[in-house]
Amino acid sequence: MTEHRTTGDRVAPAEPDSRRPAYDDQDDEWIGRGLVQGDERCLDAAYRRWGRLVHILAARATGDAREAEDVTQQVFVAAWRGRANFRPERGSLPAWLTGITRRKIADALSARTRRTELATVLGASLEHEGGAVGEPEGVLDRIVVTEELARLPRVQRDVLELAYFGDLTQVQIADRIGMPLGTVKSHARRGLQRMRDNLAVAAISG
């Protein structure tokens, strides 16, 4: 789009900006050079040209279209923030974006594994002493566990982290922190309920 400058009541084309490269969103070299220089037009051009490729790679790896969309967004955010690391002499821009995509896919799959493991361990731990809380797997599988745990009050977070990271039963947790078993069960239930509530709020907001 041609830039303009105002002269009185008339609009005239703006003077060319010699500091910017000629606009060509079909030129890989222009896109890469402009991206490194912080030209947002080039980020937009990169997304339009290679966003679909990134999404296809992510969808094939994760098997989840929604997760693939998240990965795609993360890839281009990472590309923008790390644009100074792009070196044309080391490879093309699409190849660089593909490398970022592989890393973001690995992160997504790792996070999914942690969520599944947490659901399994917490479910087993909470039910071990008759403290079932009603199938937490379906809820926990949909959240980023580390973020949700960080929002909990200190005691609830400690109890749930010991159950997951320490692989402890509720009896063992009670012994470890010197707290009555009934209190441990109460903190575990409240922590899981708070995580459910946070997820419900996020779903409504989204």
User: Can you list the domains of the chain with their CATH numbers?
Assistant: 22-111 (1.10.1740.10), 129-205 (1.10.10.10)
| Res 145 pLDDT > 80 | no
Percent of the chain residues past pLDDT 70, beyond the cut: 66
Three-state DSSP class for residue 133:
coil
For the residues 60-64, what does the mean pLDDT come to?
A: 90
| Res 140 pLDDT > 60 | no
pLDDT band at 195 (very low <50, low <70, confident <90, very high): confident
Distance between CA 179 and CA 187 in Å, rounded?
Answer: 11
**What's phi and psi for 82, nearest 5 deg?**
-105, 25
Give the residue, 92 or 166, on which the prediction is more confident.
92
CB 168 within 8 A of CB 112: no
Spatial CA neighbour of 124 closest among 140, 146, 108: 140
**44, containing H or E segment:** helix 40-62
Q: What is the DSSP letter of 89?
A: G
Distance between CA 127 and CA 19 in Å, rounded?
Answer: 66
What tokens does 15 get?
A: 């003077």
Spatial CA neighbour of 51 closest among 30, 33, 77, 27: 77
Q: Which residues share a beta bridge with 11?
A: 6
What tokens does 77 get?
A: 């955010």
Give every CB contact of residue 92 below 8 A, 6+ residues apart in sequence: 28, 32
Percent of the chain residues past pLDDT 90, beyond the cut: 29
What tokens does 129 get?
A: 């002493």
Spatial CA neighbour of 45 closest among 55, 56, 33, 57: 33
Q: What is the pLDDT of residues 106-135, one digit of tens each?
A: 888 877 776 666 655 555 544 554 444 444
Predicted pLDDT at 177: 83
For the residues 162-174, what does the mean pLDDT come to?
A: 79
